């Protein structure tokens, strides 16, 4: 672990058989409502998320909407794959990647059919607009997600290829430029949520992908197996703009058919909030099936490479056991809006150190972690200068707290030594 004076540079242990999951930050609304359709659309869709109404493609601000592309979950998958090349909370609009890298993130393949399909989806994203209307003020903002693609056309590398003889040239992607409006949304970390791209891409059904994006947020709040979130299949299919079979048994078949059914793809899948569980049941009047969803605590052991080595060393040096370490790291959760607000008021660099703070919260437990953040905020507001900077001071205090042996009489509000 190194401190460059502004942010923590984490040197994590590397294991040859393990690749750290690819995680993406995207607007929170994409995970709170069915923003992206399960099937290709020919017309605009209107979706309400809180006090905001989304119109997803299919229109142009200047009119002439007949050929304006509408967006669906395939485009969402491209956007998530593209954003995975962006640094957390980067304040620039430029994202660097090659087309082969984009294909690898999207489909783990750059074969001809995949490449052509992804190229078409990227083209849609450069031409499609999104409209967000604040229903309280009735003010709308219309913007594209991708402003432009950085493309070069070069002579073919193989002079004996058919492409060289035809006079055509190879197309090279160097990255893209996000629209200023979309980049602005991504710079406000309080309105972002994290997606495990590997988990999302493991789902093969577009219908299951569209459901997965927003179902965990519905299942998470106060829902258990005995009190699950419930929605009829008719309403669920309508919400994600998928065709609704007219008969009950056909709607049920849609979710249970095939060895990799939608039910099997979604039940037991890992989310940032826990393990998603779903099952089907009949409605009270028997006219339809309903999907029941709830969240189970994630008891799977974390991968060692996910934990910051310095944190692990300090935790074990305090006398705590490896079993306690694994139990704590199995309960890593994103920081709450309140915790992020404390970091902001304390002038602490959050974006580059997000993973460190999430792991520290899991090891220290929420009450102790919030106490340290509140102390950091108090120092900043009362003008107590740090030796280096507020970020380094808070990190030092966290490391001191983790390395201190637990004591039943220890006061939770004790302040660690300043850095």
Spell out the per-residue pLDDT of the chain, length 419, in tens. Answer: 444 444 444 344 333 334 567 888 899 999 999 999 999 998 889 999 999 999 998 898 888 777 788 999 999 999 999 998 887 666 678 888 888 888 888 987 777 788 889 989 999 999 999 999 999 999 999 999 999 888 777 766 555 555 445 555 566 778 889 999 998 888 877 788 889 999 999 999 999 999 999 999 988 878 889 999 999 999 999 999 999 999 999 999 999 998 889 999 999 998 877 899 999 999 999 999 999 999 988 766 544 445 567 788 888 888 888 888 877 877 777 788 788 888 888 888 877 788 888 888 888 888 889 999 999 999 888 888 888 888 889 988 998 888 888 765 444 444 343 44
Residue 30: CB atoms within 10 Å? 20
Cα–Cα distance list, 192 to 55, 131, 238 (Å): 19, 18, 26
Domain boundaries of the chain, sorted by first residue: 21-201, 205-296, 304-403
Q: What angle do CA 335, 336, 341 make, to 5 degrees?
A: 100
Give the domain 205-296 fold: Arc Repressor Mutant, subunit A (1.10.10)
Q: Which of 155, 173, 175 is nearest to 165 (CA)?
A: 155
Report DSSP letters for 250-286, one per residue: HHHHHHH-STT-HHHHHTTEEETTEEEEEEEEE-TTS
* Global confidence as pTM: 0.70
Give the contacts of 177 (CB within 8 A, at least 6 positions apart): 93, 94, 95, 146, 147, 148, 149, 150
Task: Give the span between the Cα atoms of 79 and 32, in whole angstroms.
Answer: 17
Can you tell me the distance from the alpha carbon of 394 to that of 375, in angstroms, rounded to the nearest whole number?
A: 9
d(CA 92, CA 18): 31
Dihedral pair phi/psi, residue 225, rounded to 5°: -60, -35
Partnered with residue 3 across adjacent β-strands are: 8
CA distance 379 to 392: 13
Enumerate the β-bridge partners of residue 49: 52
């Amino acid at each position: 672990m190194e401190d460059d004076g502004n942010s923590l540079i984490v040197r994590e242990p590397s294991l040859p058989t393990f690749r750290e999951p690819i995680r993406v930050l995207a607007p929170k609304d994409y995970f709170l409502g069915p923003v992206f359709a399960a099937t290709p659309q020919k017309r605009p869709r209107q979706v309400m998320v809180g006090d905001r109404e989304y119109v997803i493609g299919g229109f142009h601000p200047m009119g002439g909407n007949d050929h304006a592309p509408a967006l669906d979950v395939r485009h969402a998958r491209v956007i998530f794959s593209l954003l995975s090349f962006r640094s957390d909370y980067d304040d620039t609009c430029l994202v660097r990647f090659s087309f082969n890298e984009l294909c690898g993130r999207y489909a783990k393949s750059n074969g001809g059919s995949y490449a052509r399909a992804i190229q078409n989806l990227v083209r849609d994203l450069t031409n499609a607009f999104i409209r967000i209307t604040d229903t309280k003020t009735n003010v709308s903002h219309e913007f594209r997600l991708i402003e432009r693609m950085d493309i070069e056309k070069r002579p073919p590398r193989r002079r004996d290829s058919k492409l060289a003889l035809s006079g055509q040239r190879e197309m090279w992607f160097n990255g893209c430029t996000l629209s200023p409006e979309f980049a602005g949304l991504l710079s406000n970390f309080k309105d972002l949520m994290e997606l495990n791209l590997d988990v999302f891409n493991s789902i093969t059904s577009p219908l299951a992908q569209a459901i997965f994006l927003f179902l965990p947020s519905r299942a998470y709040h106060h829902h258990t197996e005995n009190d699950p979130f419930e929605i009829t299949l008719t309403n669920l299919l309508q919400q994600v703009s998928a065709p609704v079979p007219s008969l009950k048994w056909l709607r049920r078949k849609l979710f249970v058919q095939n060895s990799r059914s939608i039910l099997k793809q979604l039940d037991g899948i890992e989310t940032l909030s826990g393990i998603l569980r779903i099952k089907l049941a009949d409605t009270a009047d028997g006219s339809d099936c309903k999907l029941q969803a709830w969240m189970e605590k994630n008891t799977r052991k974390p991968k060692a490479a996910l934990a910051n080595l310095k944190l692990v060393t300090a935790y074990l040096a305090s006398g705590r056991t490896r079993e306690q370490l694994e139990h704590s790291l199995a309960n890593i959760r994103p920081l709450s809006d309140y915790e992020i607000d404390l970091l902001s008021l304390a002038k602490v660099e959050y974006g580059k150190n997000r993973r460190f703070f999430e792991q520290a919260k899991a090891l220290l437990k929420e009450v102790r972690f919030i106490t340290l953040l509140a102390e950091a905020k108090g120092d900043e507001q009362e003008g107590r200068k740090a030796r280096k900077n507020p970020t380094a001071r808070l990190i030092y205090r966290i490391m001191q707290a983790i390395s201190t042996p637990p004591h039943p009489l220890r006061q939770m509000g004790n302040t660690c030594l300043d850095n």
